[in-house]
Amino acid sequence: MSQDLETVACHVADGIAWVRFNRPDKRNAMSPALNRTMMEVLDSLEFRDDVGVLVLSGEGTAWSAGMDLKEYFRETETQGLGGVRRAQREAYGWWRRLRWYQKPTIAMVNGWCFGGGYGPLFACDLAFAADEAMFGLSEINWGILPGGGATKVAVELMPFRKAMYHALMGEPIDGKTAAEWGLVNESLPLAALEERVRTVAHTLLGKNPVALKATKDAVRRVALMPYDEAEDYLVRAQEAANSFDSQGRQEGIRQFIDEKSYKPGLGAYDK
């Protein structure tokens, strides 16, 4: 299946949905039209049996140059508060949807990533960047604070001093620095980026999908909980996961203890 919508391109191959921001001429800036399309694309892919992992990337030289300063800010502001709030709902809505997506998600940051781009960057469970990519909280450079969640993303992912420097200075950093500062898992040459992401995606495809969803949600949820609440949440989350998949863990134990066909410390059981 391949969809080439005006602002978002997408195709599914080998269990992976490759979704790409598709406004290369505008450096994949997020316009209201793009935000609406992205929600539709996420909707159409989320529960498909042939999709196990979603990769979010960008066409051309950008991942995303953030919000579209003309279409998202200037034009919606002429529509008054109702227009502004609608545009915010559309943007924040698909980022939230992505944060709690049914399938594991990977940001493949191929180029520019600014401001509002940090919303979907954080929404993706894992992130890999090209060394050549450039990241920036550029809001300060045009006179606003990093809104739309961007400041929150910075303090969630980076140590305090780095987050503060990044937000106040408006200096872009490259992929390597973004990896050192915690914005992405790894940075590697652009030419090697897709292959690395494909390898990670295939490893995820080999795991129990119910356990993957429970785990990705747990990592996000427990970050905000005190220890005892986290412990309780995790017990209940595992029990809830069992109600969707009661066989998986028994099979995982059986293949290790009885069959001795794999070692859980070193890889996944055979689904």
Kindly tell me which residue out of 38, 42, 67, 197 binds ligand ACO, with binding defined by CB under 6 A.
Answer: 67
Q: Taking the complex as a whole, how short is the minimal distance between the CB of residue 142 and ligand ACO, in angstroms?
A: 6
CA dihedral in degrees (152, 177, 143, 23; nearest 10)?
A: -90
Question: Please, which of residues 19-48 interact with ligand ACO by CB under 6 A?
Answer: 26-27, 29
Kindly tell me which residue out of 58, 116, 120, 252 binds ligand ACO, with binding defined by CB under 6 A.
Answer: 116
Q: Taking the complex as a whole, how short is the minimal distance between the CB of residue 145 and ligand ACO, in angstroms?
A: 9
Q: Which is nearer to ligand ACO, 66 or 120 (CB)?
A: 66
- Contact region for ligand ACO (CB under 6 A) — 61-69, 84-92, 186-194, 217-225? 61-69
Q: Taking the complex as a whole, how short is the minimal distance between the CB of residue 155 and ligand ACO, in angstroms?
A: 17
Contact call for residue 213 and ligand ACO (CB under 6 A): no
Kindly tell me which residue out of 5, 33, 69, 188 binds ligand ACO, with binding defined by CB under 6 A.
Answer: 69
For ligand ACO, the nearest residue by Cβ is 115
Q: Taking the complex as a whole, how short is the minimal distance between the CB of residue 265 and ligand ACO, in angstroms?
A: 43
Which residue type occupies 125?
A: D
The answer to whether the beta carbons of residues 101 and 54 sit under 8 Å apart is yes
- Contact region for ligand ACO (CB under 6 A) — 6-14, 62-70, 83-91, 251-259? 62-70
Q: Which is nearer to ligand ACO, 61 or 242 (CB)?
A: 61
